Amino acid sequence: MIRPGMLLQGRYRIICQIGGGGFGKVFEVDDGGTPKVLKVLSLERFYNPTIKQKAIALFQREAELLGRFKHPGIPRVELNGYFTWSDGNGEPLHCLVMEKIPGSNLQQWLQDRGNQPLTTEQAHAWLIQLIEILNELHQHQYLHRDIKLSNIMLKPDGQLVLIDFGAVREITNSYLEKQQGKHTGTVLVSPGFTPPEQAEGHAVPQSDFFALGRTFVSLLTGKSPLDFPRSSETGELIWRDQATHVSLELANLIDRLIAPFSGQRPQNCQEILNYLKGNQQIEPLSQGGADTLPPGTDFGVNTLGLNSFLKNTVSLVFKSDKKNVDRQKKTQDKLSKKRRFQFWMAGLLLFG
């Protein structure tokens, strides 16, 4: 067990634990006077060998990926920052040392300001920062797959940093699995932020746009995306009436990013940047060919379950509004315990 005061690899002095969950912990460490972060994957609670190996693979992939990038919006990993450590009792611990990002994540930042909504001007500037970070990822053929408030850090100098890359997946693998109609990767679900196609295992670049758009719905309203209803005809999130201060142009872009169908969203990061920098126009979603749902389609799915609602189209939506619990109970009961467990375990594979 790692404890404050311990020295790992002859250089990393454990200062204190600063985060973590059931399957891992995060520590602040001192490396010759420089504060850094140590992520530790604990394996003793993984009883299924297959899931255990998957967790290790995800952790190693995060280490390998972060070692490739030199971008101010992506955490830097130490050379040889990935290692295993054992005190002689139990399985070795998998460790990853990376730079310590000063500041707070946007979830904490929003709470600290009493959930006061972001201004249009600040949202515009932050969107440019985050799309440029995503562009770096996507150009290297990677998807983040877990963008949300708690996975974005705000540094004192105003720089945003995208964190928690354990969910990253190569675009090529996701595309090939989608074309072959199969899924062998890990399904990662963050209710309110995960797009429909990703929840069924077929993430695409536009999946990151959806999660980013939902993140800005929270920032611009001070509320969770789960607090808003959806159109029964198009499936679009109805949020604008809670953000009347937002410019029409920005609201149109957000609606494009969070469109129910991935094909309705921008095709790439450059398209979004062109719009944000005034070099390209974007049509409102309601005028851009949004599909209409078949009569009787029910969008209501709460966070306990997932429900396909369109034939031949991936479309999952989450809902946590307590007023809808009774109406959704029948849908929940149809979901097998096995499937619920699979989604639950998948969500716990990462501890960021």
Q: Which residues are catalytic?
A: 146
User: Residue-wise over 34-45: b if at least 16 C-beta within 10 A, else e?
Assistant: eebbbbbbbbee
Beta-strand relationship, 34-41 and 12-21? unpaired
CA-CA distance, 62 to 35, in Å (whole number)? 20
Q: Which residues contact 218 (CB under 8 A, 6 or more apart)?
A: 110, 149, 224, 225
Phi then psi for residue 207, to 5 deg, are -65, -40
Phi/psi zone of residue 222: left (φ > 0), alpha (ψ -120 to 50 degrees), beta? left
Strands 34-41 and 93-99 turn out to be: antiparallel
Say which DSSP state 115 is in.
T
Residue 346 and residue 187 in contact, taking contact as beta carbons nearer than 8 Å: yes
Neighbours of 167 (CB within 10 A): 24
